[in-house]
Amino acid sequence: MTDDLAIEATGLVKSYGKVKVLAGVDLRVASGTVFSLLGPNGAGKTTTVRILATLLRPDAGRARVAGHDVVEQRRLVRSRISLTGQYAAVDDLQTGAENLRMMARLSGLSRAGARRRAAELLERFDLTTAANRAAGTYSGGMRRRLDLAAGLVAQPAVIFLDEPTTGLDLPSRQAMWEVITGLVDSGVTVFLTTQYLEEADLLADRIAVVDHGRVVAEGSPAELKRRFGDQRLDLDLDDLTTWRAVVEHLGARVVRSDPDRLTVGVTTDGSAAHVRAVLDEIDPHHSAVRRFSLHSATLDDVFLSLTGTTKEPARA
């Protein structure tokens, strides 16, 4: 493992009985970046996170996190990482400040050091005004920020965020995005799984897509969209009869269709020549297509291409 890699995994295999969840996963995560692992339900995301966070042993393969082997040096790995899941793991009966001071004491800080660290984190996560309120009175977004703050008490090198914004409203999710960006700016490596594709698109430096226990694609969001997500020409058609005829004529080229809205989406290279050719092909008399629009590829399109689904379910 080189110094610029925070995580390196080679050939990870994991089965539960006869069900093979991971079938040889390879990952390389650069230090000080956001790396997002995406995939449909059952693809192996959470199993991968649990192995890298030393909560599961792989059946085969090796992985190193923060310079240490996840099997042979579990204690050293755990001293350098933090794991925050979908649900906030805070004590509702304690105040926000008490939660953080407790975690700091458990991490080995003195009483004075615990107070200082708690105060720093409360300010960093915009929780100072709520510091002396019971955590049970916090909103979902505040609880999630408190949970993340607790995970940072020991100043980890790598933090695993397993669907940290699931169930939050948009303002709370945006606040978490700012927090994640701030973590990377401070040198922390963030390993993110998320069910929101636009979240990965916004935050991740690199993305790996897993399906059926294997990495099927990896790259920056822009690279993946360029390689696997064709541009799409959306057509609004005149009536249902025309819509059916166009869908039948285009066949496998149709990537989206909606009979209620009389729309059809077809792949295109985005050039004016190709758009004109498609319009002339399906509407030679200039009477069937009412409107058309050209859309750049999104991560949803990448998912459709790689996994056959446009939405990532909540768990893996």
The ranges assigned to domains in the chain are 5-226, 230-296
Is 296 or 2 the better-scoring residue by pLDDT?
296
Instruction: Tell whether the model's pLDDT for residue 247 goes beyond 60.
Output: yes
Residue whose entry in the numeric block shows the structure tokens 């915009």:
126
Residue type, 203: L
Residue 312: pLDDT over 80: no
Side-chain half-sphere exposure of 216, counting CA atoms within 13 A: 19
Give 279's pLDDT tier (boundaries 50, 70, 90): very high
Sheet containing 19-30: order of strands: 19-30, 5-16, 60-65, 68-69
CA distance 91 to 27: 34
Name the residue with higher pLDDT: 124 or 70: 70
Provide the b/e sequence for 100-122 (b: ≥16 CB within 10 Å). bbbbbbeeebeeeebbebbeebb
Q: Give the residue among 189, 104, 182 at the shortest CA–CA distance from 145.
A: 182
Q: Please say whether the beta carbons of 191 and 28 come within 8 A.
A: no
One CATH from 3.90.170.10, 3.30.70.100, 3.40.50.11540, 3.40.720.10 for 230-296: 3.30.70.100
Q: How far is residue 106's CA from residue 83's CA, in Å, rounded to a whole number?
A: 16
Residues in a beta bridge with 14: 22
**Distance between CA atoms of 192 and 160, rounded to whole angstroms?**
6
Instruction: Indicate whether 50 pLDDT > 90.
Output: yes
**Average of per-residue pLDDT values in the chain:** 89
Residue type, 5: L
CA end-to-end span of the chain, whole Å?
A: 28
The pLDDT of residue 80 is: 94
Burial of residue 248, with CB atoms counted within 10 A of its CB: 0-12 exposed, 13-18 middle, 19 or more buried = exposed
Dist. CA 49–CA 297, nearest whole Å: 28
Q: Which residue has better confidence, 33 or 145?
A: 33
Categorize the per-residue pLDDT at 104 as very low, low, confident or very high, splitting at 50, 70 and 90: very high
Rounded distance between C-alpha atoms, residue 62 and residue 70, angstroms: 8
pLDDT of 291 > 60? The answer is yes
The pLDDT of 260-269, averaged and rounded, is: 88
* pLDDT one-digit tens code per residue, 18-36: 999 999 999 999 999 999 9
**Element housing 24 (H / E):** strand 19-30
**Could you tell me the pLDDT band of residue 314, with boundaries at 50, 70 and 90?**
very low
What global pTM score does this model have? Answer: 0.76
Q: What is the pLDDT of residue 3?
A: 61
| 117-133: average pLDDT | 93
Average pLDDT score over residue span 285-295: 89
Provide the percentage of residues in the chain whose pLDDT is more than 90: 59
Q: Please tell me the CATH code under which domain 5-226 is placed.
A: 3.40.50.300
